[in-house]
Homo-oligomer: A and B are copies of this chain.
Amino acid sequence: MQPTAVTWAILGLLAQRPMSGYDLKRTVDRTIRHFWAASYGQIYPELKRLEDQGLIAGRSEPTGERQRRVYELTEGGRAALEGWLTSDVELVDELRDEGMLKLFFSDALPEQRIENIRAMRLSTERKLEQLNQLRSHAQEMRTGPALTLDLGITSCQSFIKWCEATEHRLTETETEKE
């Protein structure tokens, strides 16, 4: 079984601090899910595999009667993480953006086009707000998490600007026609 994205997400997060599967899911949802999501259905089975491979070590840390298994990175796990970090195979980069799809096909219904762009802008504005909120909690500026946040915010802002400019331009064209 070769490593997949969720492998690196788990090893990377456990390099920050030991965590349970539940903690991992929560942390993923607050952080990397903006550019790489993960579900319980991936996390729990992967934790078992990684422990079998000796890349992480789990110990039981129950809260009263409630079971809880906390995992930490082993030396082998850290080596694997560093190996990935220094590898230079082509980076996976996939996008599924329904707004772009609608915009692409908007010639089939041109009077709807501005509405499509508006919807993209609004959804990006919501995303930007989330990222800004996350950044207000962050302290230091030169850490990995802070840099990805910053890049995410910059991208959203540039996207929103394009939308505003284009909405404006299209509105003017409409008015000219009258």
User: Residues of A with Cβ closer than 8 Å to B?
Assistant: 5, 8-9, 12, 15-16, 31-32, 34-37, 78, 81-82, 84-86, 88, 90-109, 112-113, 115-116, 119-120, 123, 127, 142-145, 147-148, 150-152, 154-155, 158-159, 162, 166, 170, 173
Q: CB-CB < 8 A to A154: which residues of B? A: 158-159, 162
Q: How far is the CA of A94 from the CA of B92 in the complex (A)?
A: 13
Chain A interface mostly: helix
Q: Is the CB of A82 within 8 A of B97?
A: no
Docked CA distance A173–B141 (Å)? 13
Contacts A103-B147, A113-B147, A155-B159 aside, 10 further interface pairs with beta carbons under 8 A come to: A5-B101, A8-B105, A12-B105, A32-B100, A85-B102, A91-B98, A93-B97, A95-B95, A95-B96, A103-B148
Report whether A123 and B12 are in contact in the complex, using a CB–CB cutoff of 8 Å: no
29 contacts between A and B (CB under 8 A): A5-B98, A5-B101, A12-B105, A12-B108, A15-B108, A32-B101, A35-B95, A36-B97, A36-B100, A81-B108, A82-B108, A85-B109, A85-B112, A85-B116, A90-B123, A91-B98, A93-B96, A100-B152, A103-B144, A103-B151, A104-B145, A105-B144, A107-B143, A142-B173, A151-B159, A151-B162, A154-B159, A155-B158, A155-B159
CA distance A163 to B155 in the complex (A): 11
Q: A101-B8, A104-B144 are contacts. A109–B86 as well, Cβ < 8 Å? A: yes
A78: which B residues are within 8 A, CB to CB?
A: 108
Shortest Cβ distance from A85 into B: residue: B109
